[in-house]
Amino acid sequence: MHSLVFIKQVPDAAQVRINYETGTLIREGVPSIINPFDAHAIEAAVQLKDKYGGNVSVISMGPPMAKEILKKALAMGADKVFLLSDMVFAGADTLATSYALWAGAKKVAEEVGSIDIYWTGKQAIDGDTAQTGPGIATRFNIPLVTYAVEIKEVDKQNKKIKVSRLIDGGMETVEVPLPCLITTEETINTLRYAPLPYLIKAAKTSVVLLNSGNTEIDAEQCGLKNSPTKVKKAFTPPKREKGEMLEGNDEKTLNALYDKLEPILKQCGKL
Amino acid sequence: MIKQNITEYNNVWVFIEHNKGKVELVSLQLLSKAKEIARDLHCDVCAFTVGDNVKPLENEVAEYGAKKFYIIENSALKDYRTEPWRDSISHLISKNKPAVVLIGATALGRDLAGTVATVLKAGLTADTTALDIDPETKNLLMTRPTFGGNLMATIFCPDNRPQMSTVRPGVFEAIKNPSKMEIIKDKFSITEDEIVKKIIEKVQTGEDKLNLGFYDIIVAGGKGMGKKENFKLLENLANVLGGTWAVSRQAVQMGWAHHTRQVGQTGQTVHPKIYIAAGISGAIQHLAGMKSSDIIVAINTDDQAPIFEIATYGIVGDALKVLPKLTKTFKGKLKI
Amino acid sequence: MKKKDFDVIIVGAGPAGLAAAYKLSTAGIKVIVIERGAFPGAKNVMGGIFYRKAMEDLIPDFEKTAPLERHIIEQKVWLLSEDSALSGGLRSEKFNKEPYNCYSVFRAKFDKWFAERAKEAGALIITETVVKEPIIENGKVVGVKTDRPDGDLYADVVIAADGINSLLTKALGLRESITPDKVALTVKEIIGLPEKVINDRFCLNNNSEGATIEITGPFFEGMVTMGFIYTNESSISIGLGTIVEDLVKHKVNINDLLEKLKNHPIVKPLIAGGEIKEYMAHMIPEGGYFAIPKLYTDGFMVCGDAAMLVNAVHREGSNLAIESGKLAAETYLKAKEAGDFSAKTLSVYQKKMKNSFVLKDLKMYRHLPKMMEEKRQLLTKYPQFAIDAVYDMYNIDGVPKVDKIKAIKKSIGKLGYIRMAKDMFDLWRKVR
């Protein structure tokens, strides 16, 4: 049971501030973290490894600095980590990203053995697109299971897996043959506090660097130039003004609140 | 990147998401918005969907202004499964070459769009909240929040067609605009045996709606609600207002509510007309999930709570006492 | 055979721990460094002036790769009152020649760089792990317990470089919990400004020249406080440190005091128009020589802030830390040769420290903290008097200089000739 987890380096949202004058994010001094949903994907893969054996590899695409989060992945129990870092990848949209990660994943499989489960978080907290996972699955032409909340059953013999996933208005359990790609919700597991030996192993293991030179990646499908979508402009939404404090919580206040909300309730067809 | 002749692509397509023989509201909202876009592009709005028996949806679809309704019916397409839906829909799109494809940004829609766009090698923009046509280039301008709503980005797709986008439910209004509609039935041959993914079990809770984004009124509770039993107070008020209830991450961690009701960075992002935050202090991760709500009413005992910084109206008080009073006040006024 | 995972466990990836790790690793010793922060430097704050010498002894060409901001060519001291600053100091072209005496640095960047050097030399560095206590067998330190699952580690020697609140030295009874009179709370802001603006305001020729201002005097209301302003490449560090006991006694919030300093009419134009990039707060040991614990025991040595090695008068800390880490490492290498890690062998470390500038400097100033605490006039009345006297001499108002000097003498009389002379003599003796 070999796993490969796709992770993304994101700025710690809790520490990102906005410069309202320039309409940009202040990223200076903001630490980078593993996208929280991706961390749960790593944990899910490590838990399966603990139960069924095999190895867990992790790959990320990003600047050389992204090595740091891959080190963290090692400390969470990953065996091998890979960083796809090359200027030709820069500025990629989700289509170009899924291409590069797919090509990188094929290279990883050459090194660690054929992959049974590909994992990633349901979406990244910076871009919020939830498109890269589905994109990679499509490129591999393997079953896609998004929004996974529980690994129900692994049939190692017949190479099948049962997964519960969230759907609009409920939940469903699906069975798919391996290999497949699973995107994880935060609730799929609880992150463990990694044991010390993992950390020591992580400190001893180095990140394998992949680029357009040592992989079979077609530069004509990578980066900003080959991304169908482009950013026309970025701006900050108007800052929310501090509103009105209503004094007391007696009937008068609540009636006043009602009067203020009435036009909106009307608009929503509640009246 | 594959060079396309983008002038071959025409019309605005809207994906009709359906559940138990009914069209999801977001699809109707998108039909209405598509009408505006089609006007600017001098083309038609077309609807499309797949399933085992989707023809009965035609009345509803026609009522919201679609000129054509492209459908594929096949018993193997009964329940949504990514792969067969992806392939049948990709077939429809690549055959008919729409200029714009809009899909509701529901769990299903986002799962589907990401795979279809990859098959078509099309540009896809996720979870947009504004759609405009660039008057000069006629490109679709798709504006979406990123960084948990801290930054807005306008995306466009100059050289590729179709221009695909998933669109947030509830952003646009569904306006009836009946038109004479033509149904175009296509075929896609696939049998159950060829589909490797099997649905073992499906639990439609109804109660635990995944998509809080459907609601224009949300009553949310946090740690200040004290215990699980008190969440009934949220539900009561939500029922009176015809909305739904939600929770903060802390409430989920306390085991008071299911994750599906969580609003925030690691839960759902919502933007209702009215968001009532009861006993929620307003951690930045929570604010990221709700601060684009039109009106925010905050109830908290701590007058220094950060939630008051963004609240339209603030009431300093114990949510457990204020909520029942609010419910009573509104019930009297709304006469339900 | 005795259980052993590493030769040496170093607790804390600050300058002391990293210096020890670097020195030992280059000698082929198996070293692990355990840091509680998210990365080396994450938990570190200091004024931001870094002296070359100790580091150069360890890594001779460190200046080629280390992230240094500006080399300091001018060091000033201000006696600051509400509306005046009496300034002294030295600007010298001697400071403008390589090798430079000292630099402004950002510790977060600098420690990361230092950690990379230690890693390259072969040290293992793990982060986000808290060392809770030493493991003691037969009265000897043989390892540490961490807060991680499977978190026990064993080694010949444990070197504690775990900062001012050193859990290890406390657990071993080498020192007590730190008291509020022996620690300063230091706050600091990094204020971003264009390089050219900084060069103009501090009369610097280019981006690599820097200046420092240390601030004391009656402005700080009799609290033992040292303020500072340092130039970085494209920012200014401004901050102050006050003995915690004084803050409590005077009921002063240190952030308000920093705000007051930033708004002082003489300070304000230096930072005007800048944008606050970062804010930091940290405890700095100020106990001086008498607060230094015994530096070793069986299988154990302590360095840096954990050993209270800070020269409060000269705002030196990291160079003392580096020197102590280096000497601890040298001691280990000797002990390894002898195959004995008992207190007896490790006592060499204490001797080495005694003979180094570290303890010699601290010894020289040993009475100063107590004196500052007892004789507040040194911080208030005397500097105020000096400011007033100089003002009078500069102020041309028709009063003959002779009369002015008379008036000054008269006010010295009020302060008490004998007392002032004695205080001055004491001060001179204590820093001699």
The CATH architecture that domain B6-194 belongs to is 3-Layer(aba) Sandwich (3.40)
**pLDDT, tens digit, for every residue of C163-219?**
888 899 999 999 887 888 888 898 999 999 999 999 999 999 999 999 999 999 899
Minimal Cα distance from A26: which residue of C?
C277
Kindly list the residues from chain C whose CB atom is less than 8 angstroms away from the CB atom of residue A194.
148-149
Comparing A121-135, A247-261, B26-40, the range with the smallest average pLDDT is A247-261
What's the pLDDT score for residue B209? 46
What's the pLDDT score for residue C23? 97
Kindly list the residues from chain B whose CB atom is less than 8 angstroms away from the CB atom of residue A126.
146-147
Q: Do chains B and C touch (3 or more CB pairs under 8 A)?
A: no
Kindly report the number of other CB atoms within 10 A of residue B283's CB atom.
19
Q: Between B206, B299, B303, which is nearest A169 by CB?
A: B206
**pLDDT, tens digit, for every residue of A3-55?**
999 999 998 876 777 666 666 667 666 788 999 999 999 999 999 999 999 99
Comparing C95-104, C117-126, C284-293, the range with the smallest average pLDDT is C284-293
Minimal Cα distance from A174: which residue of B?
B199
**pLDDT, tens digit, for every residue of B292-310?**
888 999 999 998 899 998 9
Kindly report the number of other CB atoms within 10 A of residue C428's CB atom.
9
**Contact criterion met (CB < 8 Å) for C151 and A29:** no
Q: Between A29, A68, A193, which is nearest C148 by CB?
A: A193
Kindly list the residues from chain A whose CB atom is less than 8 angstroms away from the CB atom of residue B204.
169-170
The residue behind tokens 């009701």 is B261
Minimal Cα distance from C35: which residue of A?
A199
Residue B82 distance to chain A (closest CA, Å) = 7
Tally the residues of chain A.
271
Domain A2-226 has CATH 3.30.43.10: no
Q: Is the pLDDT of residue C388 over 90?
A: no
Tell me how many residue pairs between chain A and chain C have CB atoms under 8 A apart: 38
Kindly list the residues from chain A whose CB atom is less than 8 angstroms away from the CB atom of residue B80.
167
Query: Tell me, what's the ipTM?
Result: 0.89
Q: Between A14, A131, A177, which is nearest B284 by CB?
A: A14
**pLDDT, average across residues C54-61:** 90
CB of A14 less than 8 A from some CB of B: yes
What's the pLDDT score for residue C43? 66
Residues C82, C98: Cα–Cα separation, whole Å: 38
Q: Specify whether the CB–CB gap between C353 and C304 falls below 8 A.
A: no
Question: Which of residues B61 and B289 earns the better pLDDT score?
Answer: B61
The three-state DSSP-derived secondary structure of C173-187 is: CCCCCCCHHHEEEEE
**pLDDT, tens digit, for every residue of C407-428?**
888 888 777 777 777 777 777 7
Mutate which: A28, A33, A199, vs C, most C CBs within 10 A: A199
Q: Between A172, A244, A255, which is nearest B313 by CB?
A: A244
- CA atoms within 13 A of residue B193's CA, in its CB half-sphere: 0
**pLDDT, average across residues C20-40:** 94
Kindly list the residues from chain B whose CB atom is less than 8 angstroms away from the CB atom of residue A37.
266
**Contact criterion met (CB < 8 Å) for C148 and A29:** no
Mutate which: A28, A67, A200, vs C, most C CBs within 10 A: A200
Chain C, residues 85-104, CB within 8 A of chain A, namely none
Residues 6+ apart with CB under 8 A from B38: B11, B12, B44, B45
Confidence label for C1 from pLDDT (cuts 50, 70 and 90) = very low
Q: Is the pLDDT of residue B207 over 60?
A: no
Q: Return the percentage of chain C with pLDDT > 90, whole number.
A: 56
Chain C adjacent subunits, 3+ CB pairs under 8 A: A
What's the pLDDT score for residue C291? 86
Residues A74, C221: Cα–Cα separation, whole Å: 53
Question: Which of residues A191 and C177 earns the better pLDDT score?
Answer: A191
Q: Specify whether the CB–CB gap between C144 and A196 falls below 8 A.
A: no
**pLDDT, average across residues C213-237:** 91
CB of C126 less than 8 A from some CB of A: yes
Q: A-side interface with C, Cβ within 8 Å?
A: 28-29, 31, 68, 75, 192-197, 199-200, 202-204
Residue B8 distance to chain A (closest CA, Å) = 17
Residue C238 distance to chain A (closest CA, Å) = 18
Chain C, residues 34-53, CB within 8 A of chain A, namely 38-39
**Contact criterion met (CB < 8 Å) for B322 and A172:** no
Segment of B98-107, B165-174, B325-334, C50-59 carrying the highest mean pLDDT: B98-107
What's the pLDDT score for residue B160? 93
Q: Specify whether the CB–CB gap between C253 and C221 falls below 8 A.
A: no
Average pLDDT, rounded, for chain B? 90
**Contact criterion met (CB < 8 Å) for B118 and A261:** no
CB of C216 less than 8 A from some CB of A: no
What's the pLDDT score for residue C270? 96
The three-state DSSP-derived secondary structure of B232-243 is: HHHHHHHHHHCC
What's the pLDDT score for residue C422? 78
Confidence label for C131 from pLDDT (cuts 50, 70 and 90) = very high
Q: Return the percentage of chain B with pLDDT > 90, whole number.
A: 66
Residue A68 distance to chain C (closest CA, Å) = 10
Minimal Cα distance from C32: which residue of A?
A200
CB of B210 less than 8 A from some CB of A: yes
What is the reported pTM? Answer: 0.80
Sheet strands (E) in chain A: 3-7, 9-11, 17-19, 24-26, 32-34, 56-61, 80-84, 117-121, 144-155, 160-167, 170-177, 180-184, 208-210, 230-235, 244-246
**How do strand A208-210 and strand B313-316 relate by DSSP bridges?**
unpaired
Confidence label for C49 from pLDDT (cuts 50, 70 and 90) = confident
Minimal Cα distance from C153: which residue of A?
A196
Sheet strands (E) in A41-159: 56-61, 80-84, 117-121, 144-155
Chain B, residues 128-147, CB within 8 A of chain A, namely 141, 145-147
**pLDDT, tens digit, for every residue of B97-107?**
999 999 999 89
What's the pLDDT score for residue B206? 56
Confidence label for C104 from pLDDT (cuts 50, 70 and 90) = very high
Residue A139: is it exposed, middle or buried by C-beta count within 10 angstroms (0-12/13-18/19+)?
buried
Confidence label for C431 from pLDDT (cuts 50, 70 and 90) = low
Confidence label for C45 from pLDDT (cuts 50, 70 and 90) = low
**pLDDT, tens digit, for every residue of B107-138?**
999 999 999 999 999 999 999 999 999 999 99
**pLDDT, tens digit, for every residue of B6-45?**
889 999 999 999 988 899 989 999 999 999 999 999 999 9
Kindly list the residues from chain B whose CB atom is less than 8 angstroms away from the CB atom of residue A221.
1
Domain ranges, ordered by start, for chain A: 2-226, 244-271
**pLDDT, average across residues B138-167:** 91
Largest CA distance in chain C: 89
What's the pLDDT score for residue C408? 83
Domain ranges, ordered by start, for chain B: 6-194, 207-334
The yes-or-no answer to whether B6-194 and B207-334 have a common fold is yes
CB of B42 less than 8 A from some CB of A: no
Chain A adjacent subunits, 3+ CB pairs under 8 A: B, C
What's the pLDDT score for residue C120? 94
Q: Between B141, B147, B315, which is nearest A246 by CB?
A: B315
**pLDDT, average across residues A239-262:** 81
What's the pLDDT score for residue C335? 95
Kindly list the residues from chain B whose CB atom is less than 8 angstroms away from the CB atom of residue A225.
1
**pLDDT, average across residues B315-323:** 91
Q: Between A126, A226, A271, which is nearest B1 by CB?
A: A226
**Contact criterion met (CB < 8 Å) for A68 and C39:** yes
Q: Which residues of C289-309 are buried (b: 16+ CB within 10 A; e: fewer)?
A: bebbbebbbbbbbbbbbbbbb
**pLDDT, average across residues C378-402:** 84
Comparing A58-72, B299-313, C90-104, C171-185, the range with the smallest average pLDDT is C171-185
**Contact criterion met (CB < 8 Å) for A240 and B107:** no
- CA–CA distance from A64 to each of A183, A207, C120, C122 (Å)? 25, 10, 17, 21
**pLDDT, average across residues A192-213:** 93
What's the pLDDT score for residue C134? 96
Kindly list the residues from chain B whose CB atom is less than 8 angstroms away from the CB atom of residue A262.
333
**Contact criterion met (CB < 8 Å) for C125 and A68:** no
CB of C276 less than 8 A from some CB of A: no
Q: Specify whether the CB–CB gap between A100 and A93 falls below 8 A.
A: no
Minimal Cα distance from A199: which residue of C?
C126
Comparing A207-216, B74-83, B175-184, C362-371, the range with the smallest average pLDDT is C362-371
Confidence label for B208 from pLDDT (cuts 50, 70 and 90) = very low
Kindly list the residues from chain A whose CB atom is less than 8 angstroms away from the CB atom of residue B123.
93, 95, 227-229
Comparing A107-116, B9-18, B191-200, C316-325, the range with the smallest average pLDDT is C316-325
CB of A238 less than 8 A from some CB of B: no
What's the pLDDT score for residue A252? 83
**pLDDT, average across residues A85-100:** 93
Domain B207-334 has CATH 3.40.50.10090: no
**Contact criterion met (CB < 8 Å) for C126 and A202:** yes
Average pLDDT, rounded, for chain C? 89
**pLDDT, average across residues B246-270:** 84
**Contact criterion met (CB < 8 Å) for C150 and A195:** yes
Kindly list the residues from chain A whose CB atom is less than 8 angstroms away from the CB atom of residue B285.
13-14
Q: Between A94, A174, A237, which is nearest B292 by CB?
A: A237
Residue B203 distance to chain A (closest CA, Å) = 5
Q: Is the pLDDT of residue B328 over 60?
A: yes
